[in-house]
Chain A
Amino acid sequence: MSSLIGYYSLIFGVGVSILVIFFSIKNFNDTQKLDTKVISLVFLQLLFVIISFSGLILSFVNSDFSNETVFNHSHTTKPLFYKISGTWGNHEGSLLLWLLVLTLFIFVFLLRSKNQPKQYKILTLLFQQIIIVGFFIFLIQTSNPFNHVFPVPKEGLGLNPILQDPALAIHPPILYLGYVGTSIIFSSALAAVCSNNITKIWASHIKKWVLVSWIFLTLGILLGSIWAYYELGWGGFWFWDPVENVSLMPWFALTTLLHCVLVLEKKLILTSWVVVLSIATFTLSMCGTFLVRSGILNSVHTFANDPERGLYILIFLFILIFLSFFIFLIFHKSENNNSKTFYLLSKETSILVNNWFMMYFLSVVLIGTIYPIFLEVISSQKISVGPPFFNKLILPFLIPFMLAMAIGPKLKWIKSDIEDKIYLISFFVISLILSVLIIRNLDINFLYNSILITAAFYLFFITLRDFFHRKYRNLPQITAHFSFSILILSILFNNIFSFEVITNLKINETYQAQNLKINFESIEQENKQNFKAIRGKFVVEDQNGLIEVMKPELRIYNQPNIVTSEADIKTNIFTDKFMTMNYVQNQDYFNIRYQVKPFMIWIWISTILLCFSGCLSLIRKKYEN
């Protein structure tokens, strides 16, 4: 029943789209004010999508297996929480969620932009409706979440246990809020170009949307990382896997856009650049959806894939790209640069420098991700691009990037000199000494690593001082740069100081290394509702005689039949201890991995702080002064 209502709501939703387009075109030239009819229609559309989405949630909660999506992805023994999160844990449901957020955002946009010119608002609405209709057709044509199964099966096929994780349950909605937020930026930038409305007012208006998308995207990436760390049991948080890269690319574009919009808001320069970035951000989000959902990428995170769906997104994506491209060419009047001159030492130059680095990082990730696809099509060579590629190309460039991040915000708009040079230099010396002391005794590339850490420390100290020095002058910026420095520092320390032991042990055997002793004491079995748990007990003794008991677990799920490793993680503020075990087929041995990973928790904390700085900026009324 709820499936039926859901399905018809979708159909009505498309119908409303047509009405919205019709009335907004009619409204475009005739009256002064935006027709309230249009707003009510947008609301109606939102309502239909909400009904449709609730219908799907209800089907999942009631385990209504006459619905094909529910049958394929749910099971009666699943906890209620995962039944609900299962709604968007699959292809069909996640697209419905996309649609829900799309319609929600355009409604909020119309409510929140009362002071903007009418024609601009209508144009934004029209562009957004093109995207919405595209998604409606995609949903109904190729991935209808309300397909009927008859006769009705008694039991569903279950949800992959790896996906049964709280972080992963809220990860897709948050990430989508970020992705879809960029659609508003896209539509509004195109509308602003068409109606020639690129002004300082527009910049501060669109800045909020950029911020909102940025916050959600950052949070979404964070949640994905947390899931990978706790659930996958690989002991890492970032693997440069294509699926992860795909979410990072819009993030780079969005961060760049955020900084550019600040310049635009202040000085009304870089207009073309802002428009191009707005288009790029949404295109990259869509491209991400395409790459993930079509199965074209060879990734460790697999999704059910269907070439027909991929083709649809691909065509839709390129229609949008070409549409925006032509609008940009036809309507955009290039700015008159003559009256404004760039000075070498000014805030806008430093932001431009930041842009160049960001664009460089973006192109590295982009090329590393899609190069294998190109090579396979052109020469049918099969390759993969691994972490060394990204580390080698990105890490060295973080050094000038972070130095610029530290000094850039101190410069003034238009033209300035660096103030209090003594401070800047002395902080640099302190950071240098500190990192040399830290690196001194380690067996790694001394020069490279110490300079890298120096740059990170430098940013850390400079921003830390700014908190006290110029009180509240630009708190969001300081907080953001500060948390970024903590993020980079903890990632660097995490990489440099972490160590691991991988070995195969039998019960009662002991692994002995110079600084560590692992004793495999015992093993116990336990039958749970939908899986059998095999839990090992290990006693780890380090060189100081400190003893830690680790209990990693193997889970053998019955529905579907999958074995997963549950890591045992002991967290404190300095370091994480991480152990996983796995069985070796036909042997008495268990494969053990023990890792010590310093500053793990600071990676999460700093990213949350980064999001928080975004929120700070959002609630601030005025930017500087």
Chain B
Amino acid sequence: MKTKIFPLFLIFTFSIIFFVFYKGLQNTNIYTPEIKSETKIPNFDTKEFFSKDKINSDQIFIGRDYYLLNIWASWCIPCKEEHKYLMDLSKKENIKIIGQNYKDNFDNAKNFLINLDNPYDLIFFDNDGTIAIEWGAYGVPETFLIKNNLIIKKIIGPLNEKSLSEIKELTK
């Protein structure tokens, strides 16, 4: 009698521990800081991607539309993952998607766009990554939603279904 209860008890305990650990796993610890207060966008000079013309940030972010600034690079794997969401967003009339080509090789970047399609309305260079610092970006990819020269949302890492619907909600 005694010998049977004890193993059963142990199995039961271990199963509970397993269950608790399994549940605990669901909460991940990665935190993505969100900008709550609306910050002004930085001012910078750069070159346009295809024409290589000089361009200032004031010439990029004009008008009252929504702008979606996406920092990307052809070597960045998560950028490929989020590409389909950008293509989806590029169909929306009231959002202009701006690409910031981060520390990249021109030919690779061009091939990337040819192979996967180009969701961007405009692309500019950030060859040494200084503009990304101006934005306060953490890495590639990173996406900023801008209205009236104010950043109203920042998404660190690749876009996903959740952030896509959030962007759509904000730009209704």
> Which residues of A pack against B, CB within 8 Å?
65, 68, 149-155, 157, 290, 294-296, 298, 302, 305, 307, 310-311, 314, 318, 321-322, 325, 329, 373-374, 376-378, 561
Q: In the complex, are the beta carbons of A374 and B20 less than 8 A apart? A: yes
Residues of A contacting B26 in the complex (Cβ-Cβ under 8 angstroms):
307
Stretch at the interface among B7-15, B61-69, B91-99, B154-162: B7-15
Q: How far is the CA of A585 from the CA of B75 in the complex (A)?
A: 35
Q: In the complex, are the beta carbons of B11 and A325 less than 8 A apart? A: yes
Q: How far is the CA of A115 from the CA of B171 in the complex (A)?
A: 76
B20, B21, B103 pick with most chain A CB within 10 angstroms: B21
Q: How far is the CA of A154 from the CA of B10 in the complex (A)?
A: 54
Residues of B contacting A311 in the complex (Cβ-Cβ under 8 angstroms):
22, 25
Given contact pairs A305-B30, A314-B18, A157 touches B25 in the complex (Cβ within 8 A): no
Shortest Cβ distance from A145 into chain B, in angstroms? 15
* 23 A-B contacts (beta carbon < 8 Å): A65-B75, A68-B77, A149-B75, A149-B77, A150-B75, A151-B74, A154-B75, A154-B103, A154-B105, A294-B25, A296-B21, A296-B24, A296-B27, A307-B28, A314-B21, A314-B25, A318-B14, A322-B11, A373-B20, A376-B24, A376-B27, A377-B24, A561-B133
The answer to the question of B152 belonging to the interface, with a C-beta cut-off of 8 Å to chain A, is: no
- Chain A, Cβ-Cβ closest to B109: A151
Q: Report which of A152, A305, A318 forms a contact with B29, defined as CB distance below 8 A.
A: A305
Q: In the complex, are the beta carbons of A151 and B29 less than 8 A apart? A: no
Shortest Cβ distance from B110 into chain A, in angstroms? 11
- Beta-carbon contacts under 8 Å, B67-87 to A: 73-77
Q: Report which of A157, A374, A376 forms a contact with B139, defined as CB distance below 8 A.
A: A157
Q: How far is the CA of A298 from the CA of B27 in the complex (A)?
A: 11
Residues of A contacting B103 in the complex (Cβ-Cβ under 8 angstroms):
154-155
Shortest Cβ distance from B33 into chain A, in angstroms? 14
**B132-171 near A? 1/0 per residue, CB < 8 Å:** 0100000100000000000000000000000000000000
Q: In the complex, how many residues of chain B place their beta carbon closer than 8 angstroms to a beta carbon of chain A?
A: 28
- Chain B, Cβ-Cβ closest to A155: B103
Given contact pairs A296-B24, A322-B14, A151 touches B105 in the complex (Cβ within 8 A): yes
Q: In the complex, are the beta carbons of B24 and A151 less than 8 A apart? A: no
Residues of A contacting B112 in the complex (Cβ-Cβ under 8 angstroms):
151
The answer to the question of B56 belonging to the interface, with a C-beta cut-off of 8 Å to chain A, is: no
Q: How far is the CA of A163 from the CA of B105 in the complex (A)?
A: 30
Residues of A contacting B20 in the complex (Cβ-Cβ under 8 angstroms):
373-374, 377-378
Shortest Cβ distance from A289 into chain B, in angstroms? 13
Q: Sorted from nearest, which 7 A-B pairs have the closest CB atoms?
A: A153-B75, A377-B23, A151-B108, A373-B24, A296-B24, A310-B25, A295-B29
Q: In the complex, are the beta carbons of B22 and A314 less than 8 A apart? A: yes
Q: Report which of B7, B10, B73 forms a contact with A153, defined as CB distance below 8 A.
A: B73
Residues of A contacting B27 in the complex (Cβ-Cβ under 8 angstroms):
296, 376
- Beta-carbon contacts under 8 Å, B24-62 to A: 24-30
Shortest Cβ distance from B166 into chain A, in angstroms? 22
Q: How far is the CA of A376 from the CA of B20 in the complex (A)?
A: 9
Q: How far is the CA of A376 from the CA of B75 in the complex (A)?
A: 40
Residues of B contacting A322 in the complex (Cβ-Cβ under 8 angstroms):
11, 14
Q: How far is the CA of A378 from the CA of B19 in the complex (A)?
A: 11
Q: How far is the CA of A321 from the CA of B27 in the complex (A)?
A: 24
Q: In the complex, are the beta carbons of A329 and B75 less than 8 A apart? A: no
Q: In the complex, are the beta carbons of B24 and A325 less than 8 A apart? A: no
- Chain B, Cβ-Cβ closest to A373: B24
- Chain B, Cβ-Cβ closest to A374: B20
Q: How far is the CA of A290 from the CA of B23 in the complex (A)?
A: 14
Residues of B contacting A151 in the complex (Cβ-Cβ under 8 angstroms):
74-75, 105, 108, 111-112
Residues of B contacting A149 in the complex (Cβ-Cβ under 8 angstroms):
75, 77
B20, B73, B139 pick with most chain A CB within 10 angstroms: B20
- Chain A, Cβ-Cβ closest to B27: A376
Since A152-B75, A153-B73, A318-B18 are in contact, a sample of 14 more A-B pairs with Cβ atoms closer than 8 Å, ordered by chain A residue number, is: A149-B75, A151-B112, A154-B103, A298-B29, A305-B28, A310-B25, A314-B18, A321-B14, A325-B11, A373-B21, A373-B24, A376-B27, A377-B23, A561-B133
Residues of A contacting B111 in the complex (Cβ-Cβ under 8 angstroms):
151
- Chain B, Cβ-Cβ closest to A559: B129
Q: In the complex, are the beta carbons of B10 and A325 less than 8 A apart? A: yes
Shortest Cβ distance from B154 into chain A, in angstroms? 17
Residues of B contacting A294 in the complex (Cβ-Cβ under 8 angstroms):
25
Residues of B contacting A318 in the complex (Cβ-Cβ under 8 angstroms):
14, 18
- Chain B, Cβ-Cβ closest to A68: B77
Q: How far is the CA of A318 from the CA of B10 in the complex (A)?
A: 13
Q: In the complex, are the beta carbons of A329 and B25 less than 8 A apart? A: no
Q: How far is the CA of A498 from the CA of B99 in the complex (A)?
A: 56
- Chain A, Cβ-Cβ closest to B22: A314
Residues of B contacting A290 in the complex (Cβ-Cβ under 8 angstroms):
21
Shortest Cβ distance from A1 into chain B, in angstroms? 19
